[in-house]
Structure 1
Amino acid sequence: MSKPAPQRRADARRNHARILAVAEAEVAEHGAGASLEQIARVAGVGSATVRRHFPTRRALLESVARARIDALCARAAELERGEDARAALLEWLGDVVAYCASARGFAAAIAVDGAEPESVYENACSASLERAGAPLLRRAEAAGAVDGGVTMSELITLIVGIALATEHHAAPEAQAERLFQVAVAGLSPAG
């Protein structure tokens, strides 16, 4: 039987919460490249304290994105009960696009960065989304609504690309939605 993880001291919990709150604001304003030093300064802690709580930029971005990831995962579970498998998958993917486009830094939090699969710092956000969306994709494949062989990882990568490409657009949400619709429809005319 493993022993429980040690409780953090009260000041460490406060520092963690303060760093995370400041990081959310900084990432929203400056995107995934928000300065860790600025986050430390505004939070009133040293850079080493930020790095102790968040050893990598990815760890910080994932923590900032966690609430959004959890909401998207819950949404996928809700949509699994829908009758139209294609519509459910596309609605969920559209929700992911909207979240990515509306929150600077979110796309970077789910982007694959080449971390080793066994790494402690593997992309937990992307992995959570892939697990949540996989049943929707399998259902759509089984219904013949999506070509077999498409992976959820590929779909998340496509969304990340759309969000990153539109991040600095005058209307990022609208442009991301438009590009997503182009990707869904393909380039061939209906017929």
Structure 2
Amino acid sequence: MRHRSTSGTRSVSDRAEARAPRADAARNRDQLLAVATRVFMSAGAEPSMRAIAREAGVGIATLYRHFPTRESLVDAVYQDQVVRLTAGARELLGRLPPAAAMRRWMDLFGDWIAAKNGMLDTLLAMIESGEITHARTRTELLTAITALLDAGRAAGDLRSDVTAEDIAASLIGIFTVAPRPVREAQAGRLLDLLMDGLRPPPR
């Protein structure tokens, strides 16, 4: 009896010790992902892996251990930003009025565009090769915008004659002429003007 109990205790302890390194690795990966996203957003040209590792305060080998190739890092950043947009729409609607949620979501969209611009060469090559499916991403983003629009219409906060495609095209136009973070203030003003146009006319 005593032998079985000791063995069982050791097994539980071993499993706990095994989980700890995995949790540490996941945290380290998330931290590297956050730093890489920030670097891509602020980069004038696509940064090197070494520059990203330096910004994260780690050696290049550590970065490559989590992201073995530039493409794997770009894919992780890209997918993380898409998740932030799709899940962000639901989260914002859960705590803000629809119009306010839409305006805040536009800022998240701007973050996504800025990150894309910082890794554009690699991203375009991956889309061309089929590693990233542009059509699927577009569908996910339009679904998120539609959820915000539907909530706004139901509340009487947003116009009923605007489509998700209209808003997506407007946002791409805004962030093309006023890229963030270089023209952050101008982008903010243009987004506010867009929101004014999305509100229903007074009766």
Instruction: Kindly indicate whether the alpha-carbon contact (under 8 Å) linking 1:22 and 1:39 is maintained by their aligned counterparts in 2.
Output: yes
2:164 aligned to 123, 135, 152, which one? Answer: 152
Structure 1: 5+ residue stretches without partners: 1-6, 83-87
Instruction: Kindly indicate whether the alpha-carbon contact (under 8 Å) linking 1:97 and 1:159 is maintained by their aligned counterparts in 2.
Output: yes
Give the equivalent residue in structure 2 for 1:167. 179
Instruction: Kindly indicate whether the alpha-carbon contact (under 8 Å) linking 2:37 and 2:77 is maintained by their aligned counterparts in 1.
Output: no
Give the equivalent residue in structure 1 for 2:191. 180
**TM-score normalized with structure 1 length:** 0.56
TM-superposed CA distance for 1:66, in Å, is 4.6
1:70 correspondence with 2:81: no
Q: Helix, strand or coil: the match of 1:121? A: coil
Identity %: 20
1:17 correspondence with 2:26: no
2:59 aligned to 27, 41, 44, which one? Answer: 44
TM-superposed CA distance for 1:77, in Å, is 4.3
Give the equivalent residue in structure 2 for 1:3. none
For residues 99-118 of structure 1, give each alpha carbon's deviation from its aligned partner in whole angstroms, at most 9, with x where no partner exists: 34578825659x996948xx
Aligned alpha-carbon RMSD (Å): 4.6
In 1, distance between residues paired with 2:108 and 2:167? 15
In 2, distance between residues paired with 1:51 and 1:39? 14
Q: Cα distance 1:92–1:128, how it changes in 2: closer, same or farther (>3 A)?
A: farther
In 1, distance between residues paired with 2:175 and 2:38? 19
TM-superposed CA distance for 1:48, in Å, is 5.0
Q: How many residues align?
A: 167
Instruction: Kindly indicate whether the alpha-carbon contact (under 8 Å) linking 1:61 and 1:105 is maintained by their aligned counterparts in 2.
Output: no
In 2, distance between residues paired with 1:126 and 1:77? 23
Q: Cα distance 1:159–1:93, how it changes in 2: closer, same or farther (>3 A)?
A: farther
For residues 24-81 of structure 1, give each alpha carbon's deviation from its aligned partner in whole angstroms, at most 9, with x where no partner exists: 34235426834334224553234754245952624323336755653343113445xx
Q: Helix, strand or coil: the match of 1:105? A: helix
In structure 2, give the amino acid aligned to 1:156.
A
Instruction: Kindly indicate whether the alpha-carbon contact (under 8 Å) linking 1:94 and 1:180 is maintained by their aligned counterparts in 2.
Output: yes
In 1, distance between residues paired with 2:143 and 2:78? 19
Give the equivalent residue in structure 2 for 1:4. none
Q: Cα distance 1:51–1:59, how it changes in 2: closer, same or farther (>3 A)?
A: same
Q: Cα distance 1:146–1:64, how it changes in 2: closer, same or farther (>3 A)?
A: closer
In 2, distance between residues paired with 1:31 and 1:69? 27
